[in-house]
Structure 1
Amino acid sequence: MDGFRKRLAKSVTAAVGSFVLFGVVTDLIPTPLYIRQVPRTELDYLFLVLTAAFLGLYVFQRTPDRRSDDGTATTGAVVGFLAFGCPICNAFLLALFSSSALMTYLDPLRPVLGVLSIALFGGLLYSRSQRACDSCADAEPTGSTSD
């Protein structure tokens, strides 16, 4: 039971930490550091909460011997961040593209990116749970044997 509590503590820490970090960086949690240039919407908050929750669930399911899905989880987190982040507040994107290009092309796609992020995380978590169930079904029962 101690391993379960440790995994649960790690997953809650990951979910809350990513929620606070992403929320502050994108100004969905208001701070005096800067002002968000794009108005906040309910979808922004929904995608922030879902991305943080899925990261927490991924950390809960993650085991040291199965790290092959880390790339998919990272992609889901990045796409989720782009879905709820302010397009013209992102210095990296602003360095690559102009603010008018970001507002013209990226801003209308943010809801689609959010749905894509949720689909990536949902598919990843589902496939991981199916693999865990398959490995449990393949294991021999540990009950009493009748010889």
Structure 2
Amino acid sequence: MNSPSRRHLKAAAVSAGSFVLFGVVTGLLPNPIYVRMIPRTTLDYLFLALTAGFLGFYTLQRTTRKSRDGKTATASAALGFLAFGCPICNAFLLALFSSSALMTYFNPLRPLLGVVSVILFAGLLYVRSQRTCTSCDVTSQQSKTHQ
């Protein structure tokens, strides 16, 4: 098992790396490679920061045993990405729908997608923390009874 400081460092790296990667790819962090087609909003930056932070906390809570939480984390990260990404710059969405349909119907739903993403991530992290704390309590109680 990794030491706590090493786990914290890895979680911070995941959080910072995902913030920079998602920020550059979506144009929230200005760069010469990608130009965002719609204006940046405060909510875009909020959902970017929350998604990156939750990915860091999820990494911090990861254990070596198998779990099905990865699907929820992936869905939440994808919803978060759609919440702060530029809808008409997303090639996948643009292939499915026209740019006018995306701006008319999808763009107003982006804050809702962000809220759903945050709720999913917060719920996942809460459930994982309860599971982790319960197992820690059982382990500490067992070690006290054996002493």
Please classify the TM superposition score into its range, dividing by the shorter chain length. Answer: over 0.9
Matches within 5 A, 1:1-147: 3-139=3-139, 140-143=141-144
Q: Alignment partner of 2:123: what SS?
A: helix
Distance 1:62 1:145, change over 3 A: closer
TM-score normalised according to structure 2 size: 0.93
* Structure 1 unaligned spans of 5+: none
Runs of 4+ in 1 over 6 A off after TM superposition: none
Aligned length: 146
TM-score normalised according to structure 1 size: 0.93
CA-atom RMSD in angstroms: 1.7
Alpha-carbon shift at residue 138 of structure 1 (Å): 2.7
Identity %, equivalent residues: 61
Alpha-carbon shift at residue 145 of structure 1 (Å): 6.2
Distance 1:145 1:99, change over 3 A: closer
Q: Alignment partner of 1:143: what SS?
A: helix
Q: Alignment partner of 2:29: what SS?
A: coil
Alpha-carbon shift at residue 32 of structure 1 (Å): 1.2
